Amino acid sequence: MPPSLTSLTDDARIALDNLGDRASSLVNPSIRLGVTGLSRAGKTVFISSLVHNLLNGGRLPLFEPVRSGRVSRVRLEPQPDDAIPRFQYEDHIQALVRERVWPDSTRAISELRITLDYQSASGWSRMFSRGRLSIDIVDYPGEWLLDLPLLAQDYRTFSANTVSLARSGVRAELSREWLALAESVDAEATGDEMAARRLSEAFAAYLKACKSDERSLSTLPPGRFLMPGDLDGSPALTFSPLPHVPEERAPKGSLRAMMERRYEAYKSVVVKPFFREHFARLDRQIVLIDALQAINRGEEAVHDLERALGDVLACFRPGTNSLLSSLLGRRIDKVLVAATKADHLHHESHDRLERITARLVDRAIRRIGMAGAGIEVMAIASVRATREATVTEGGHVLPVIVGTPMAGETIGSEVFDGLRKTAVFPGDLPASPDVLFRGADGGQPEFPEINFVRFRPPALEETSGGLKLSVPHIRLDRALQFLLGDRLA
Ligand SMILES: Nc1nc2c(ncn2[C@@H]2O[C@H](COP(=O)(O)OP(=O)(O)OP(=O)(O)O)[C@@H](O)[C@H]2O)c(=O)[nH]1
Ligand SMILES: [Mg+2]
């Protein structure tokens, strides 16, 4: 039997949800913007800065509706979904702007509605209508997206994929204990809870080790193993892939049968509800990535990010995966892939970061047949924590960035106190992205030296009247124009 994705009732429910969304959209036009990225990619900071800039008349010269003065009123409104936690904008912006600390990690889904009143750009409709658009911003972990392909995989396929990846590259070393344990159990013998738990814990420890700071490998499914939330300890989260899963049915009561059942439970209690209630209702999507961090860690991290991005993008155009595509009532028609934290570089390197990001997703975009249509790549900084300057050293003029490193950050032997400003020579990204990737000839990739220091959020500039200006950013307006510009035309 082919792995069935969702039952008929799921289909019907998605159709109904979409119908409901559309009906309310007729009264009050709205758009659902998904904001995703792997943990710490910069989702919370992105949404906070975007909303702050819209609410406070930020500098957004490339966002045409604002630049041309057509947006007359912006406000936060109650979100339409009562069951989704609200994105706590006020708390996050308080941390960023008042305390100058980065907001806390969020780790779950949240939503915020911002509504814009605007005048249409075309003379004809301007005479008759004032437009209103509500933007429902949905922040959700990229790890949840990586789970979607599981819907089309049975336990045997999932096991084979996971085990073979675990045996390759540096993962081999990190997965050794889990794989040794998995090889040692007799999965066809009667299963018991303790065996399941030991395996599952060893598997989770391996997933965690991949994500550790020194490795910075991208996450693997099942995403909820690293952020279990209220499902922690439940059977749906207490399983593990197994090596050499045979084709025939698992013996009744065996460890394998137990694992298989729990894997299916994970799909039905975790993955399907996310797909149905959240993912299938999105109109637009931004995927944030921390490409600099991966570049800093070297070849394997970059390679791994490329693979994870491929998996993420495939969710948006599940063309060949007819199971997924048949269920998508509506289509995400614009996807923006944005490398964040560009303020760690001098502006000369911003375009280079953009080119590297484009190279990272190039293969995936072509594979899913999205080239040229509805997808764009940018390098941005949601919050610009640095400013640029030059220093002269030995007769050479060097571009530097100036900011306040966070307390405890170090450069060489210098330890920062979180108060003192400093100038950092950030290093250059390569002019051609190709040098970061292994060529067809197998040539060794080369990695640049980037001085990566974490800075505190900036102190906001004030007007002469003492009014605080909005959060500074890099190219946030360009991102807005791509994601929303046409809906405010
Ligand atoms: N300099 C700079 N740092 C940023 C920027 N955006 C994010 N960061 C840094 O990245 C960290 C993570 O950002 P968040 O917005 O919390 O990331 P997230 O994706 O919401 O993370 P989770 O909630 O843990 O999934 C922040 O604490 C900052 O240190 C930016 O635009 N500039
Ligand atoms: Mg967050």
Quick one: pLDDT at residue 176?
A: 96
Tell me which range, 221-225, 299-303, 461-465, 482-486, is most confidently predicted by mean pLDDT.
482-486
pLDDT of residue 366: 86
Instruction: Reply yes or no on whether the pLDDT at 265 is more than 70.
Output: yes
Digit-coded pLDDT (tens) for 71-104: 999 999 999 999 999 999 999 999 999 999 999 9
Q: Which residue has the higher pLDDT, 353 or 444?
A: 353
Average pLDDT over residues 38-56: 95
Q: Distance (Å, rounded) from C-alpha 225 to C-alpha 150? A: 14
Rounded to an integer, the average pLDDT of 372-376 is 81
Mean pLDDT over 398-402 rounds to 90
C-alpha 44 to ligand 2 mean position (Å): 4
Q: How many CB atoms lie within 10 A of CB 481?
A: 20
Question: pLDDT grade, residue 471 (50/70/90)?
Answer: very high
Best residue for ligand 1 mutational test, from 35, 36, 40 (most atoms within 8 Å of Cβ): 40
Residue 2's pLDDT is what? 41
State in Å: Cα 407 to ligand 2 middle: 21
- Which residue would you say has higher pLDDT here, 128 or 235? 235
* Interatomic CA distance for residues 95 and 409, integer angstroms: 19
- Calpha distance 466→60 (Å, rounded): 21
**What residue owns the CA closest to ligand 1's atom 21?**
40
Which ligand approaches the C-alpha of residue 345 most closely? 1
pLDDT(208) > 60 = yes
Confidence of residue 301 (pLDDT cuts 50, 70, 90): confident
Q: Which of 36, 38, 39, 44 best tests ligand 1's pocket when mutated (most atoms within 8 Å of CB)?
A: 44
* Ligand 1 atom nearest to 406, measured from its CA: 29
Is there a contact between 287 and 37 (Cβ–Cβ < 8 Å)? yes
Among the atoms of ligand 1, which is closest to the Cα of residue 384? 32
Per-residue pLDDT, 479: 98
Model pLDDT, residue 1? 37
> The pTM is what?
0.90
Structure confidence at residue 399 (pLDDT): 87
Res 4: pLDDT:
45
Q: Which two tokens stand for residue 280?
A: 């299938």
Residue 168, Cβ neighbours under 10 Å: how many? 10
Does position 133 have pLDDT exceeding 60, yes or no?
Answer: yes
Q: Among 213, 341, 386, say which to mutate for ligand 1: greatest number of ligand atoms within 8 Å of CB.
A: 341
Percent of the chain at pLDDT > 90 equals 59
What is the overall mean pLDDT for the chain? Answer: 88
Pairing of strands 387-393, 375-379: unpaired
Strands of the sheet with 387-393, listed across from one edge: 387-393, 396-403, 422-424
Which range among 2-6, 34-38, 297-301 shows the weakest confidence by mean pLDDT? 2-6
Neighbours of ion ligand 2 (CB under 5 A): 43-44, 106
What mean pLDDT comes out for the span 179-207? 96
- Provide residues with CB under 6 Å of ligand 1: 37, 39-45, 102-103, 105-107, 141, 340-341, 343, 381-383, 385, 454-455
Query: Poorest-confidence range of 134-148, 157-171, 181-195, 214-228?
Result: 214-228
| pLDDT the model gives residue 321 | 52
Segment 66-71 mean pLDDT: 94
Ligand (nearest to CA of 107): 1
Stretch 217-237: mean pLDDT: 87
The pLDDT confidence band at residue 318, using thresholds 50, 70 and 90, is low
Which residue minimizes the CA distance to atom 25 of ligand 1? Answer: 39
Are the beta carbons of 436 and 298 closer than 8 angstroms? Answer: no
Q: At what angle do helices 255-266 and 155-166 cross, to 10 degrees?
A: 100
Of residues 252, 162, 257, 150, the one with CA closest to residue 210: 162
Residue 47 CA, ligand 1 centroid: distance in Å: 10
Judged by its nearest atom, the ligand closest to the C-alpha of residue 43 is 1
Q: How far is Cα 105 from Cα 443, in angstroms, rounded to an integer?
A: 39
Find the 226 Cα to ligand 2 centroid distance in Å: 15
Pocket test for ligand 1, best of 43, 45, 289, 476 (most atoms within 8 A of CB): 45
CA distance 188 to 192: 12
- What's the burial of 94, exposed, middle or buried (CB within 10 Å: 0-12/13-18/19+)? middle
- With CA atoms as reference, report the closest residue to 77 among 28, 122, 121: 28
CA nearest ligand 1 atom 7, residue: 42
Ligand nearest to the CA of 40: 1
Ligand 1: centre distance to CA 424 (Å): 20
Give the pLDDT confidence score for residue 296 in this predicted structure. 87
Among all ligands shown, which has an atom nearest to the Cα of 102?
1
- For strand 284-289 and strand 334-339, is the pairing parallel, antiparallel, or unpaired? parallel
Across the range 141-147, mean pLDDT stands at 89
